[in-house]
Amino acid sequence: MAMLEIKDLEVYYGIIQAIKGVSFEVNEGEVIALIGANGAGKTTILHTITGLLEAKKGSVTFDGKEITKTPAHKIVSMGMAHVPEGRRVFANLSVLQNLKMGAYTRKDKDEIARNLETVYRRFPRLEERQNQLAGTLSGGEQQMLAMGRALMSQPRIILMDEPSMGLSPIFVNEIFDIIKEVSAGGTTVLLVEQNAKKALSISNRAYVLETGKIVLEGKANDLLNNDSIKKAYLGE
């Protein structure tokens, strides 16, 4: 059984249909990439899965439970975390306060402290800057903070929206290494990413989205070598 199953999803903004009957699934332990041009509907899908947008039709099932109508905060406590596009850190709070916000659904103080150590091990720069205001961090560091904050909720699956956007090439490589580590640590990953080459290089499978529809799906490796994908998304 898939950990996350999206079935016949339709989403509208007013009268404009943004998502047109999309179905896909994510199995436990996979890294799944959703790739496509700007405006294809990738972010809309993530927002619908995490309860920030309402579906007009179709269903979202997580761990065998339908969550299509479940409010966003409840979805977090079920084990799903979302790293939004544009990082969305709390600029006027310290790094440490931001990380603790990630654990707000949890009550187990000792376990939270252990989690914090794990996040600091993975992101040593965040520990160095734990008392700094999040708004003073570089873009790459803010992205690390957003990822660290999401991991503080101990998610079983993490949804990442454009994690490499606006980052320097060095940081891009670092962020993708971290996504691989997160996956190796047992967390399932659903990745929305403009950098199709990078996304496919670390994913098991991928779905290609065009104007609200899935037009292609397959093993990430096969898509990397697919001529039409190379032309459209890999700049070759």
What pLDDT does residue 236 have? 59
Domains delineated in the chain = 4-233 (3.40.50.300)
Residue 119 token pair? 């996040």
What pLDDT does residue 228 have? 83
Condensed to tens digits (0 to 9), the pLDDT of residues 195-207 reads 899 999 999 999 9
Q: How confident is the model at residue 183 (pLDDT cuts 50, 70, 90)?
A: very high
Condensed to tens digits (0 to 9), the pLDDT of residues 14-39 reads 999 999 999 999 999 999 999 998 88
What pLDDT does residue 124 have? 93
Condensed to tens digits (0 to 9), the pLDDT of residues 66-122 reads 999 998 888 988 999 999 887 789 999 999 999 998 887 777 888 889 999 999 998
135: DSSP letter: G
Q: Cα separation of 188 and 183, whole Å?
A: 6
pTM above 0.85, yes or no: yes
On the question of pLDDT at 234 being above 80, the answer is: no
On the question of pLDDT at 225 being above 80, the answer is: yes
